[in-house]
Amino acid sequence: MKQFWYGLVLFLFLALPPVRHLLESIMAFHMHMQMPLLFVSGLLMAPFFMKRFRQFFGKWNGSGLPGIILFLIIVMYWMVPKAMDESLEIMAVEAFKFISLPFLAGVPLRDSWSKIGKATESILLLVLAILFSIMAYLYIFFESTLCNNYLLVDQKTVGWGFAFFSLCLILYLVLTLFTDQSQYYDEAST
């Protein structure tokens, strides 16, 4: 329950007009700070919904795969430059961003994470790494602005941000494949 409140406070904080304005004024902050934080707020709130709507999640996300697919659809939608432009210009799209990232990406992913196996986890990480690499390439090397609201230099910055995101995901994937991560999460030892 504590996590739910942390998530809710984060969600409300991100929704405050000055915070929204600040984070949306710089493309890198918009895409690599506001959006991931909205997603994180959903991750934090997820246990509350999972407990509250256990039957719903059991019925519609029994294997965890539907949740993963929904998460990927939402993430990919927000990778589209036009979607980001529209969120700055159309209030309904902005509202959709604040609903979709926490509740249609964060919550389903957390619910699915415990249900999917190691192999699916690795595939998901690989898919995200590839997706972010493509975005990095697109944003760094495209010679005209993809987002009307931002400058070309902002676009390149986001591209490099994606490159580092992708690098970190690949490194984490390698780490999970070649080391036994469970050894670090047993009970404490002396």
Partner 1 sequence: MANTIQTHMKNNTLPLVHFFLAFIMLLIGGTLGLLQGLNRGGVFELPASFNYYEVLTLHGILLILAFTTLFTNGYLYAAIRHTLGELSKTVKILAWSSLASFLIGSLLVVWMVLAGEATVMYTFYPPMQASPWFYIGLVFVVLCIWLAGLGVFISAFQWKRRNKGQHLPILAFFAVGIYTLVIFGSLGVTVEVLMLIPWAFGWTETINVMLSRTLFWSFGHTLVNVWYLVAISVWYTILPKIIGGRIFSDTLARLVVILIVILNVPGGFHHQIVDPAFSEGLKFMHVFMSLSIAFPSLMTAFAMFAVLERTGRKRGGRGLLGWLWVLPWGDVRFLTIMIAMISFIIGGAGGIAQTNNQLNQVVHNSLWVVGHFHITVGVTVVMTFFGLVYWLIPHLSGRVMTPFIHHLGMFQTATWTVGMALMALSMHAVGLFGAPRRTSYTTYGDSATALGWEPYLSFLATGGTLLFFGVILIVYIVFHLMFFAPKGDTPFMDSRVEDNAHPTPKWTENWGLWVIVAILIISMGYVVPLVDLIENAPPGSPPHRTW
189 binds partner 1 (CB under 8 A): yes
Taking every pair of Cα atoms in the chain, the longest distance, rounded to a whole number of angstroms, is: 57
Piece of the chain touching partner 1 by CB under 8 A; list 2-10, 21-29, 75-83, 112-120: 21-29
Q: Which of residues 32-71 bind partner 1 (CB under 8 A)?
A: 32
Rounded to whole angstroms, how far apart are CA atoms 105 and 89? 23
Structure tokens at 67: 């949740």
Rounded to whole angstroms, how far apart are CA atoms 153 and 185? 42
Choose among 149, 125, 169: nearest CA to 31: 149
Amino acid symbol at 72: L
The CA-atom distances, in angstroms, between 32 and each of 28, 35, 53, 77, 173 are: 5, 6, 30, 15, 20
143 binds partner 1 (CB under 8 A): no
**15 versus 26: smaller Cβ distance to partner 1:** 26
**95 versus 153: smaller Cβ distance to partner 1:** 153
CB of residue 186 to partner 1, shortest distance in Å? 6
Rounded to whole angstroms, how far apart are CA atoms 109 and 152? 33
Q: Which of residues 145-184 bind partner 1 (CB under 8 A)?
A: 152-153, 156-157, 160-161, 164-165, 167-168, 171-172, 175, 179, 181, 183-184
Count of residues touching partner 1 (by CB under 8 A)? 27
Interacting residue ranges for partner 1, rule: CB under 8 A? 22, 26, 28, 32, 152-153, 156-157, 160-161, 164-165, 167-168, 171-172, 175, 179, 181, 183-190
